[in-house]
Structure 1
């Protein structure tokens, strides 16, 4: 039996350089589909191409307009292929209108000197943190086991926009690049936490940098990721938020799998 995420990100070819996707009700959001599943669909579509080079390294999607329920077409084009990296442009088209644009960089992993300067927050184990449920109108959240250490939706207004949580697919699913791309967008808008209430808000641009190698994803398996996010500045109708996604093995060092950055628009609460 296929996982619901695999159903949601599946595509079929319709023309040279064009594949067709269909929105999945399990990943519905307040307006249109969950942006993370859209990102995951694009990552999966590029990764499945026979002319792709390596694995995803960087991915940016700009949400120009909401995707309506139903089919949408993904237009893919290689801009350049170098010895170790490959650059892509893409457009999402629905009803003859462009609703999203973006770029992706894929590449080869080479053994080099390495160092991780970022450090994960100190938190209790996932098993010691209770899972939370989101409101039913945020349908996509039901596909994740989310356990907030700090900064949950029910915590009320806060002067600190930081949320830290344990998260994994529900039902459990081995972590891969599309799943990581989707989880990178799982942080609810930081404005909700600052005001302690839902506020009209939506992602304009999402960028994710994939640090994980295929071996690191395989080693992570179906365990929870440790995810933390915060904003830097709110004002003039926009704010940013950045996040980190960690693998936290019981018998080894933490592994930073991805970093993610968003620009979000918002309106003041009424």
Structure 2
């Protein structure tokens, strides 16, 4: 699905770089600026520094003079607004709106009329840092997204707001799997090493009076089964034998 982030009359170059970075880490690269304060904002030093490597997003970004140009090819528009408008699109939490947008349900009618299909192009609109979005721009949108924040302090930096919306949208689209940690090579202990461990451990348990050799019951077979389930590595066997050795040494010192 085509996704576009649109910044309207942005006044701080650093925010443009921060937005590019926020988009890149979520896998988006379609950025359009509508009448920004600086005509060369995409090349300014502060912009590039704040982008922190998202230079490809800046290189692809476009600057246009009107919102109409920025919206070309988009068929679902999401405004971002802290304050609900008395008139205009419904104010919704991002996750709830994205879920409804991407997973339309069948209307409960006798003929089971399907809900509208998911859009092909979604645009997220962000207003200027000082004034937010103009009412006339919000009214053009299908939804006004309000990021849930603390009731007494809901002011978000522009790049931070883009990051939150981009994250929720990426998750709605399926997200990214976390990188798989490369498991270090693990050499399993053979039966001979395990038998040596059990013998060593048995001696240690007798020495510390945990195991009565005259009435061992089933302690050692149970430990054998425990170690089998654990699938001990050679290194783990060495560690446990070190524990057994320390137990024997401590028991010998106590008897002197």
For the aligned pair, the TM-score class normalised by the smaller chain equals under 0.3
Q: Would you tell me which structure has more strand in proportion to its own residues?
A: 1
Q: Normalised by the size of structure 1, how large is the TM-score?
A: 0.19
Q: Which protein, 1 or 2, shows the higher relative CO under an 8 Å CA cutoff with sep ≥ 6? A: 2
Higher Rg of the two aligned structures:
2
Q: Would you tell me which structure has more helix in proportion to its own residues?
A: 2
